[in-house]
Structure 1
Amino acid sequence: MTLLMPFLYFPEDKSEYIPSFIVLGIFMILAVFATIWFFKKSKKDEREFNNKYNIKETDSTSGQNK
């Protein structure tokens, strides 16, 4: 089984995983902030578009059957 996966490396000293988890955590936090920023920017752009073309703002859930 080791011949098929020579690119995998599992260190005996588990402290070598610490930098990887730190970098992973940083990127996950940045991804959350980017998602929140995209959502807010999208809502702002939608409001500006609606104001520019005089479209009434409606609740997105108002058209659904309850």
Structure 2
Amino acid sequence: MMNLWILNEFLYFPDNKSEYIPAAIELAIILILCILVFNFFRKKARKDLEKTRELEEKILKEKQSSSNQH
């Protein structure tokens, strides 16, 4: 019985539904920001992967050329 009373203190459902508008706007803004940040990290990871592959190929070519000289 005590647990229900505690939960009721934190739950608030307004009778006036226009009070939901600021929360919906904030949720939409945060969702858009999350999507933008997620896409930024995906693009950054893709670029870093390409740089790593290029560096790896360069190192392998140098190893092959140095082993061919001996």
Establish whether TM, by shorter chain, passes 0.5.
yes
Percent identity of paired positions between Structure 1 and Structure 2: 40
TM-align CA RMSD: 1.7
Unaligned runs of 5+ in 2: 59-70
TM-score (norm 2): 0.70
Unaligned runs of 5+ in 1: 56-66
Residue equivalent to 1:62: none
Q: CA deviation at 1:4?
A: 4.1
Check if 1:36 corresponds to 2:69. Answer: no
Moved over 6 A (4+): none
CA distance in 1, matches of 2:49, 2:30: 28
Greater per-residue helix proportion: 2
TM-score (norm 1): 0.73
In the alignment, which of 53, 56, 65 is matched to residue 56 of structure 2? 53
Aligned length: 55
Give the greater-gyration-radius structure (CA).
Answer: 2
